[in-house]
Structure 1
Amino acid sequence: MEACPRPELFDFCGVSMTSYFTKNWEKVQAFQARPDDIVIVTYPKSGTTWVCYILDLLYFGCSQERDASLYLHERVPFLELLEKLPTSPRLIKTHLPVQLLPKSFWEQKCRVVYVGRNPKDNAVSYFHFDRMNSLQPEPGDWNSFFHRFLDGNMVFGSWYDHVSGWWEKKQSYSNLLYLFYEDLVEDTGRELGRLASFLGLAPSAEDRQQIREKVHFDSMKNNPMTNGSTDHILDLSVSPFMRKGKVGDWKNHFTVAQNEVFEEHYLLKMKNSTVAFRTAL
């Protein structure tokens, strides 16, 4: 069977996008948020599935029935693909940069959980994701992808603009918790506590332990509800959806020359931002 052509990037409100996320844009912008909505925001490949699963378990418990019958992407859908979500609160995920989030979320003072990941690991993870995802533009080889990442010609735009835009918003919007992927890897329990506190939840010690076990990388990688194994757009023979979940895998991909180019570019692009990332633990 002939493969479908990969989508092309185009400029959308100053951000690189594909039509998959913009085709119902008027509906997205007119979205009516509720005060108890929780929005999970990430640049792609920054731990989205991980944090969505943590929040789902925090709110709706570890019941075997829910966990075995509903795929995570049905429990926490993309804002752009959201139809009717029966839960309350609604857990909604998006990769939108801060300036494109529908204004009703700000008007309703919704809580927002942002997760940022260091750009080197983020770039590597995004590369492997694009290799196996037929709804993403053709990634090409690693070197050409690397330069495209630096230039911000990615679906959802520039990593630099995304992480710094949301970091800036945090300074003036108190209902925003900014988490780091590296902190979650380092001490999941501690970050789970921060999340629960921010959301006004008080899980028991037993619940916390159960959640920690369920959201462990190996558990999620073996769980068909979270590992992407049933998603027809993903070719897991090319690369697993849940690949490594580590900090520092970029060292297996970056050449010395690429790393020097990246460091110089990073300093230039982030000179006006106070957000700081760790590329090793």
Structure 2
Amino acid sequence: MGRAFAHKQQWETAIINYRKAIDINPSIQLLHSSLNHAIQASQVKQKSTVVTNKVITNPKDLCGLDATSSPDSKPSKNIFWIASYPKSGNTWMRYILAHLLFGASEREDVRKQVGQTIPDLHYHKNVFDAPEINFSRCSKVAFAKTHTCGFPDLKTVNPVGFIYIYRHPLDVLMSAINYCYISGHKHFFHDHRLHSPEELKQNGKINWYVERFMQDLKIDNYYKMSNTWLNHVHTWLALAEHHPMSLVVKYEDLLDNTFEHLKKLSDLFDKTDNEIKEAIEFSHEHTNDGGKFFWKKKSRNYENYLEPKLIDKFNSKYADVLSKLGYDNFE
């Protein structure tokens, strides 16, 4: 019933039915994800209704709908989120936007500028201190990075828009393995010893990680923060269907033709094509670190580590969702 009403975008009724289902069997994680999905969509719909029923004389009225507050409450802060599941290109996008919107340059430490202008919710935790900018569609808006499954649950924050980047789940897993290796996260590995993807490929242990991931697309290190990869993608794509200031991009498309798939930034942020191209070039110069944080930065990297039979098994199990996301040509 919850799914049926959600399909019709009758979110309040869907929420009621999802909660009833959770009461019956609270152990099914998909129910919790679906409920969160419906709640997020309902909130976006309510804000859209406010805009629809309001006489808009200034495009800036699209933002700051929750900015009014009583004298005793903390003013709301407009935040435009840069969202993705971990290891899907979020930091790359931040480098582009740091130059495009905040003029990040080589005159200072570039990495520090990115962290200050578009802070990472999960590390810096200073999104309320992030600098604000104005553009025609929104005034006084700050930018921040998140890996949460849907909008972060932060009081006095008004999510005015977002960019969402998704990536093939097997490349997410390969990148996660490498990141845990270079970061010294021993608890991620089956024997609590550090292993590079190359080593796991050579000793055949990498199949164990893929088989485990294949069960429900869950990466233990990221689950508390981001839920499963599947629930994460479904939640953000549902939000994008109802949010006028959103852009969804596939990581592989950005690799193939970054500018072509970021043209919409000109409409969102009043920037010229040349400005966007310059920002992309700037990001390319500073996100090629010799395979450290950004590692391979390539499409279908998993093919270099996994046996074709295992890849086929994975793609077959998740054929429907992969096809909808544009990965049907990866067979």
Q: Could you say whether these structures have the same fold, taking a TM-score greater than 0.5 normalized by the shorter chain as the test?
A: yes
Contact 2:266 2:273 in 1 (8 A): no
1:87 paired with 2:87, answer no
1:183 paired with 2:248, answer no
Name which of structure 1's ranges 56-65 and 69-78 shifts more when overlaid on structure 2.
Answer: 69-78
Contact 2:80 2:160 in 1 (8 A): yes
User: Quick one: which amino acid aligns to residue 186 of structure 1?
Assistant: D
Contact 2:98 2:113 in 1 (8 A): no
Report the counterpart of residue 153 of structure 1 in structure 2.
218
What is the CA-CA distance between 1:210 and the residue it aligns to? Answer: 2.5
Q: 1:33–1:261: structure 2 CA closer, same or farther, 3 Å change rule?
A: farther
1:203 paired with 2:245, answer no
Contiguous gaps of at least 5 residues in structure 2: 1-28, 34-73, 133-140, 191-204
Give the Cα–Cα distance (whole angstroms) in 1 for the partners of residues 111 and 173 of structure 2: 33
Contact 1:62 1:211 in 2 (8 A): no
User: Quick one: which amino acid aligns to residue 180 of structure 1?
Assistant: K
What CA deviation, in whole Å up to 9, does each residue of 1:212-244 have, x standing for no partner? 22122x54224xxxx8xxxxxxxxxxx621111
Report the counterpart of residue 193 of structure 1 in structure 2.
263
Equivalent residue of 1:148, what SS?
helix
User: Quick one: which amino acid aligns to residue 182 of structure 1?
Assistant: E
Equivalent residue of 1:64, what SS?
coil
Q: 1:266–1:204: structure 2 CA closer, same or farther, 3 Å change rule?
A: closer
Give the Cα–Cα distance (whole angstroms) in 2 for the partners of residues 253 and 32 of structure 1: 50
Contact 1:46 1:181 in 2 (8 A): yes
Report the counterpart of residue 173 of structure 1 in structure 2.
243
Which of 97, 101, 118 pairs up with 2:152?
Answer: 101
Equivalent residue of 1:246, what SS?
coil
Higher relative contact order (CA 8 A, sep 6+): 1
Give the Cα–Cα distance (whole angstroms) in 2 for the partners of residues 67 and 274 of structure 1: 40
Name which of structure 1's ranges 75-84 and 119-128 shifts more when overlaid on structure 2.
Answer: 75-84
Give the Cα–Cα distance (whole angstroms) in 2 for the partners of residues 191 and 136 of structure 1: 37
Q: 1:152–1:201: structure 2 CA closer, same or farther, 3 Å change rule?
A: same
Give the Cα–Cα distance (whole angstroms) in 1 for the partners of residues 242 and 182 of structure 2: 38
Give the Cα–Cα distance (whole angstroms) in 1 for the partners of residues 189 and 329 of structure 2: 23
Contiguous gaps of at least 5 residues in structure 1: 1-10, 16-30, 228-238
What is the CA-CA distance between 1:40 and the residue it aligns to? Answer: 0.6
Contact 1:120 1:279 in 2 (8 A): no
Which entry has the higher C-alpha Rg, 1 or 2?
2
Report the counterpart of residue 126 of structure 1 in structure 2.
176
What is the CA-CA distance between 1:254 and the residue it aligns to? Answer: 1.6
Which of 89, 96, 107 pairs up with 1:65?
Answer: 107
Give the Cα–Cα distance (whole angstroms) in 1 for the partners of residues 181 and 75 of structure 2: 35
Give the Cα–Cα distance (whole angstroms) in 1 for the partners of residues 167 and 75 of structure 2: 29
Give the Cα–Cα distance (whole angstroms) in 1 for the partners of residues 305 and 77 of structure 2: 43
Equivalent residue of 1:90, what SS?
strand
User: Quick one: which amino acid aligns to residue 148 of structure 1?
Assistant: R
Give the Cα–Cα distance (whole angstroms) in 2 for the partners of residues 276 and 168 of structure 1: 16
Contact 1:32 1:104 in 2 (8 A): no
Report the counterpart of residue 212 of structure 1 in structure 2.
280
Contact 1:189 1:212 in 2 (8 A): yes
User: Quick one: which amino acid aligns to residue 309 of structure 2?
Assistant: A
Give the Cα–Cα distance (whole angstroms) in 1 for the partners of residues 153 and 158 of structure 2: 11
Q: CA RMSD in A?
A: 3.1
Give the Cα–Cα distance (whole angstroms) in 1 for the partners of residues 186 and 118 of structure 2: 21
What is the CA-CA distance between 1:139 and the residue it aligns to? Answer: 3.1
Identity of aligned residues (%): 23
What is the CA-CA distance between 1:172 and the residue it aligns to? Answer: 2.1
What CA deviation, in whole Å up to 9, does each residue of 1:116-167 have, x standing for no partner? 1112222211221122224584134422221232233311231111112211
Give the Cα–Cα distance (whole angstroms) in 2 for the partners of residues 145 and 69 of structure 1: 32
